[in-house]
Amino acid sequence: MVKNGVLIWMMILAASALVAACASPTKHQLKTGPAYELIIEDRPELQLFLLRLRSNESKPLCINSEGWPNSRGEIWSGSAPPLIRLRSKDRLVSAVTKLDEYCPGGCQTVIPPHGVLLGDVKYETFGDPKVIRSLPERRLEVDIELVRCKRS
């Protein structure tokens, strides 16, 4: 009877270890307090949105490349729904230029403790910049998915 009990516990532990090994640590959201401050500024004279993400954490945070524009102001197209969207008073505007590069194992940007990450999303990402500029009550929506960085 004891052998069967030990065997059952070993099977449970093995199954738990397998699930933990398959789980992606980058999917776990921070559980405590506001970890960041995001400021999005619409700059029509530059035909872009400026993004400023400030960490409130004392440890490094990581953001996946899917959730932040690259250095050219392009956004990743692989998530559904998209993590970065443009909304106006009466509609959601889909991105027309999208980044579809693939990073094996995922790409992350590290934000140092209490650091700032800057980025921009160009109007042309969502179509003709003149049309985007004319949209009433336009706003960029960004879903932030930060995680504590894995130790190297």
HSE, side-chain direction, 13 A CA sphere, residue 111: 28
HSE, side-chain direction, 13 A CA sphere, residue 30: 20
The yes-or-no verdict on residue 145 having pLDDT over 50 is yes
Query: Percentage of the chain with pLDDT > 90?
Result: 32
Q: Considering the entire predicted model, what is its pTM? A: 0.71
pLDDT tens digits for range 63-79: 887 788 888 887 876 66
HSE, side-chain direction, 13 A CA sphere, residue 77: 11
